[in-house]
Amino acid sequence: MPRNRVLPLLSLLLCLALPGRAPAAPGAEILPDPSLSIGLAAIRDRALAPVDFDALAFDGLRALALIDPAVAAMREGGGRIGLSYGGRPLALFPPPPANDAAGWALLIQAAAQDLAPISPPLRAAGLERVRTVVFDAMLGHLDRFSRYAPPSEAVRRRQARDGFGGIGVLCRPTPDDVTLMGVLPGAPADRAHLRAGDHILAVNGTALAGLDSDQVSALMRGPVHSPVALTVRAADRQQARVITLTRDHILPPTATLSDWRDGIATIALTGFSDGTDTELAAILDDLARHPGPGLKMTRGLILDLRGNPGGLLDHAVAVASLLLGRGRVTSTRGRHPASQQTWNAHGPALAAGLPLVVLVDGGSASAAEILASALQDSGRAVLVGTNSYGKGTVQYLQPLPNGGELALTWSRYYSPSGYPLHDLGVLPQVCTAGALNQPDRALDRIAAAPDAPRRLLADWRDSRLEQSQARHGLRRLCPAENHQGNALDPLVARRLLDDPALYRRLLAPAPTSFP
């Protein structure tokens, strides 16, 4: 018979009681895991839609079976929660009070600790594995964008957003060493005259032969201003040398000037991180000072957002400010009061009056779609390409004491004209879907029906979130495709900028009022 667990949940004690097995030491108090309880509370309070939290938490408890299939949890009479192993009853727990995140966290910990002495998989798994399966099971019932990142993954995500202490190299491990594929301009490696093709044999005396990318990164990265010794062999030499570099704050560039000719500049944005708007401002400023006609005399600017997965919303808004000056960028709406916000461009515009074409494709997502829709809805830019991804939800980042983090969907983005981006995306005025290597075909469509883009865009803006079938039909009008690196869209954009009358005709009129 199982033994009832009737102690208060704030001081749950181990009481393993199976025939032929001694119970765990009585009085061994379970120390609450703050990461589990804080994560459960975030799911309860901030999920986009109302949730049956107790049912969701029970599914998290049942997920222990993913670690050991012999584990089973079931509802018993009086709301009690039964735990069994291999079909043999183990324990009964009193139900936590309704919506009690801390109580459910303690219950899940108590269950895992009760099972550990008799379940080798659970004993080997440890608390972090328990957290992962519990969070994954709960978030899996919400949406495909909510996720839990354990500490190692969370560190990588934070470094991508905020930068890290390093030397500024792109490298490829080989069986014998590490080969440099690129060096970030101005970074410590660049100042030390390292170049693509050079080989790094060791870091601080540790040989790199046979190590994978994560292991190499862990050795090269460290606190900003800390020294790191590299054993380096230049690409054109046989002799290795040891050099000492001082790590700096490294933020991988996300804005690059990819083309500048015939009075048209093309700038590619690969994401939105802590430095994206600063990088873009520097490029625009440099173009304005460029020998020759200068930025204000150019024929246009092409902003390439193809393959851009998004990133930090506030920096996407800052980019919009550089191109818009003033105006609505996006609004967000969710269940939690703090998720209901409006984001406006705050200027000053650095490219005011310059014709602007934005390239989008099926890989343009999230913050990239916000920027594209803001530039389109304001009448600032013409979009060229295919439907974007349609990722119109906001993830609330909940850092956890263990170093992990929850990314929890808690609101939706709305364009300035009022349509929800989720599962719809943005519609380019000039659709290049299905026109690969046929630039004339995309513009011929416009010539054959010059008013069609505005009519389609009006239908796009009128669509509502609940009209899923109609929205899917709209997306089929210009199917999302991967055009990243394809020469078609920039060529179409250039031809469009060569025809100012057509460009002006395709500009979408700005909404007269905001919803």
Catalytic residue among 100, 377, 411, 415: 377
Hey, what amino acid is at 320?
A: A
For helices 53-62 and 34-46, what crossing angle results, to 10°?
A: 140
Distance of CA 259 to the CA centre of its chain: 27
Catalytic residue status for 391: yes
User: Is the C-alpha dihedral spanning 145, 146, 148, 153 positive or negative?
Assistant: positive
Lookup result for tokens 């991180």: 273
Cα–Cα distance, 313 to 193 (Å, whole number): 36
Instruction: Mention every residue, 6+ apart, whose C-beta is less than 8 A from residue 488.
Output: 432, 435, 436, 437, 438, 439, 442
Greatest pairwise CA separation for the chain in angstroms: 89
Cα–Cα distance, 106 to 95 (Å, whole number): 11
Q: Can you spell out the DSSP letters for 67-127? A: T-TTEEEEE-GGG-EEEEETTEEEEEEPPPPTT-HHHHHHHHHHHHHHHTTT-HHHHHHHH
Catalytic residue among 33, 100, 378, 391: 391
Q: What tokens were used for 94?
A: 């009193």
The C-alpha torsion from 268 through 271 and 274 to 279, rounded to 10°, is: 0
Residue 149: other Cβ atoms inside 10 A: 20
Residue 452: other Cβ atoms inside 10 A: 14
| Backbone φ, ψ for residue 474 (5° rounding) | -65, -40
Cα–Cα distance, 74 to 2 (Å, whole number): 13
Cis check: omega of the bond before 227, within 30 degrees of 0: no
Cα–Cα distance, 451 to 455 (Å, whole number): 7
Helix (H, G, I), strand (E, B) or coil at 207: strand
* Beta strands in 400-454, from DSSP E residues, in sequence order: 405-414, 430-431
Lookup result for tokens 């222990």: 64
Helix (H, G, I), strand (E, B) or coil at 411: strand
Catalytic residue among 35, 366, 411, 415: 366
Alpha helices, DSSP H, located in 354-486 = 367-377, 439-448, 452-462, 468-475
For helices 120-139 and 53-62, what crossing angle results, to 10°?
A: 150
Cα–Cα distance, 225 to 85 (Å, whole number): 53
Catalytic residue status for 366: yes
Cα–Cα distance, 5 to 16 (Å, whole number): 10
Catalytic residue status for 377: yes
Residues forming the active site = 366, 377, 391
